[in-house]
Chain A
Amino acid sequence: MSAAIAHDKPAGFSFAQYLTCMNGIVWREGLRFVHQRERFISALVRPLVWLFIFAAGFRQVLGISIIPPYETYILYEVYITPGLMAMIQLFNGMQSSLSMVYDREMGNMRTLLVSPLPRWYLLFCKLLAGTAVSILQVYTFLLIAWFWDIEPPPIGYLTVLPALALSGLMLGSLGMLISSGIRQLENFAGVMNFVIFPMFFASSALYPLWRVQEGSPVLYYLCLFNPFTHTVELIRFALYGKMNWVSLAVVGGCTAAFMIGAMFAYDPSRGLVRRGPAGGET
């Protein structure tokens, strides 16, 4: 029977069309972000509260010795700044995940998924869009932090950019992977409890690992194997124009793993096939 159906010649897609698609997805993500001013404000307020209140309170309690990449004693505020930058990206990644679950519930996700361009490419564009938004948030945070005497070397603002791009992609991919398994928006609270908080607190974001080791060797190893620790360290080193190769390898590896997992999960012949229809549909 197949011979009976004449076949249209496949036209394929040009590079310009791929680029147009990417621009469209990034543009739409940007528009949504601009429209959701509360999201922008809360994304900034969260790390600023940590910086202005938490760090100020703990400054005298938690002394920081000279550890790389720092070449002198530093204030606690300076120490936690890379952790807070990573926190912005972590929350943004999870926010993107929440937004994907919402889009799926509301039906918007179908618009994206029925595009004729390859599914992996659409999801990658979505990740890029989320990462771009998170980088914008981080630089706004750094600008405010500068007035709080958080002054990394000027070159650091540039060298941290690739690190932020990579960590944004890693955390965004993680969020996307998680979103593929969440069927209802209400289940998202679990993500907060079981992903964001453990990742953030069991890392070097708030305290150096040598301090953690002194307090709890078990927690030290947990922190060491936590990819978020390496995200923080990658950003910390990059902010001072240096490279932490181990962290780069871990973040790079995790980015690839999470991304492949997310694309696998959103592949209609694999991940999505296990899902049932949305409410009311059959």
Chain B
Amino acid sequence: MMKPDISTAGDKATGLNHPVHPHAVALAIEGVSHSYGPRKALDNVSFTVAAGNFTALLGLNGAGKSTLFSIVTRLFGIQAGRIRIFGHDIQREPGEALRCMGVVFQPRTLDLDLSVLQNLLYHAALHGIDRHEARMRSKEALSRMGLADRLGSKVRDLSGGQMRRLEIARALLHRPRLLLLDEATVGLDVRARAEILGHVRGLVIEQGISVLWATHLFDEIKPSDDLVILHQGRILAEGKVAFIVANAKARDLHSAFAQLTEAGPGSEGTVP
């Protein structure tokens, strides 16, 4: 397991090539552990997400991805370790840390009985954005996500893909610099998955937003992506995909993952 060193992010040890600058770290997770009673869900997890980069967090179902997201978003308290978002410690400065961050959770978190616009206005209010500004931003966000014509629709009338796009629009409404997405494409068809992934990658390129994309699907990860492999609550590897593959002396990511986790290809939850 590689121990992250923020000051040296970008070194040869990880293959990361983003600029080595204090501001380059969007999310720093240092030695985070979490247990549910006797069961350890996360064990001394450490890694960083570089600012303006797309970082994939790859792990099978049960790897601890959602637990990690719950801790980063303060739904769970930190039992051990430290988390900083753009330098803000989430325990000491939770408000500032949460303000920098937008989240799309694995389960749907929209209010189905409210309209598309009402869901966005509610989120905006929770971030202290006044009604006029919120309306303006909502319309912009919905246009970008191709949902402008669904402004007044009840959320329960949207398709799964549209709901996810709405959740992303909502997560971006307060203009965060870091976007966390926990298995955002689960339950969607191939086309909707590709659309959402494409849109999120576009946000990184066009707006410089940092993204942590948790997934168990190999085909959502590009060779140029930064990658963190989480397995049974522990980080097995961190770095550029090509670096991890080369380091494992494997022919592709799937094989590298299999080697690292000591499981054969086609393990539960993976897509070859």
Contact = CB atoms under 8 A, between A and B. Distances in A.
A17 B6 contact: no
A7 B237 CA distance: 28
A272 B34 CA distance: 13
A282 B66 contact: yes
B16 interface: no
Nearest to B111: A108
Contacts of A282: 41, 61-67
Contacts of B87: 5-8
Contact of A107 (B78, B100, B108, B131): B108
B107 interface: yes
Contacts of B108: 106-107
Interface in B120-152: 121-131
A108 B88 CA distance: 26
Given A114-B74, A117-B95, A4 B65 contact: no
A154 interface: no
Interface in A1-57: 1, 4-8, 10-14, 16-18, 20-21, 23-25, 27-28, 31-32, 35-36
A31 to B, nearest CB: 6
A245 B54 CA distance: 61
Chain B interface residue count: which class?
35 or more
Contacts of A119: 74, 94
Interface of B: 5-7, 22-23, 25, 28, 30, 36, 41, 61-67, 70, 73-79, 84, 86-88, 91, 93-101, 103, 105-111, 113-114, 118, 121-131
28 contacts: A4-B22, A10-B95, A11-B96, A13-B128, A25-B125, A27-B125, A28-B114, A28-B125, A106-B108, A107-B105, A107-B108, A108-B110, A110-B103, A110-B109, A113-B73, A114-B73, A116-B98, A117-B126, A122-B126, A268-B75, A270-B77, A272-B76, A272-B77, A277-B41, A277-B66, A278-B107, A280-B106, A281-B106
